[in-house]
Amino acid sequence: MRVRRVVSTREGGRSRAPYSSFNLSAGVGDDPAAEALNRGRLRQELGVPVVFLGQVHGTRVETVEAAPGPDAPDVPDTDAAVTAVPGIGLAVLAADCVPVLLADPQAGVVGAAHAGRVGAASGVLPATVAAMEALGARPPNMEVLLGPAICGGCYEVPAAMRAEVDAQLPGSAVRTRRGTPGIDLRAGLYHQLVELGVGRIGGDPRCTLESRELFSHRRDARTGRQAGIIWLDSR
């Protein structure tokens, strides 16, 4: 089964500043009409319906069994989704957090997880892998993409917070380019996926704070969200 993955940027949409222009989040204060047009364009360009989540930095995983309609609401209070149904896009939104796209092509199972500092430390990825295993996936056959996110060189946090996160997500503690305490979420998630037995792990190296083509909450505060989308293509 062929797996498709896409990470959007902030270019090519209808939203106006400060959400300009391809904001895909319905929860950041953007004009609902512009956000709806952006989502409509995304569905049209991908050629599949897309499931969006009402993300809350938690660990709940939704198992998707049917395609959503174009006006379907976001799945409430959910930070990850999995499916074994071809032709359904699973989207996670981010603007510094890590969009994680997972797949077992042999089993025909995909998943998407929103892994911010709180959700990553709380275990959203182990929960997503477990939900995929319930659909027949096996970690050694999984391929995972860690999408663009704020890098460890830019993600400055208090020392106590760094220690707390690293205790739950080992490998995430770093020093920033300024020599201050920092967190590298993708590094911590990489180590976690290795411990889970995932076979292949790749990463998009872009830092959202440094890359102007991407949304960054830490850089701009009031801003939009890009999406990581994954789906099974049976064609």
Is pLDDT of 108 > 90? yes
The answer to whether domain 2-233 has CATH 3.40.710.10 is no
Flag whether pLDDT at 235 surpasses 80: no
* Per-state percent for the chain, helix, strand, coil, to nearest 5: 25, 25, 50
Kindly write down the DSSP assignment for every residue of 142-163, as one continuous string. -EEEE--B--TTT-B--HHHHH
CA angle 115, 64, 92 (to 5 degrees): 25
The strands making up 200-203's β-sheet, listed across from edge to edge, are: 61-64, 80-83, 109-115, 98-104, 143-146, 200-203
Residues 195-216: tens digit of each pLDDT:
999 999 999 999 999 999 999 9
What mean pLDDT comes out for the span 141-148?
98
Residue 204 DSSP label: -
> What's the token pair of residue 179?
């020599």
Kindly state the percentage of the chain with pLDDT values over 90: 98
Across-strand partners of 83?
64, 110
Q: For the chain, what is the mean pLDDT?
A: 97
pLDDT given at position 12? 95
User: What pLDDT band is residue 95 in, cutting at 50, 70 and 90?
Assistant: very high
Residue 232 above 90 pLDDT?
A: yes
What is the structure's pLDDT at 120? 97
Residue 40 Ramachandran class (φ > 0 left, ψ -120 to 50 alpha, else beta): alpha
Phi, psi values for residue 75, rounded to 5°: -65, 120
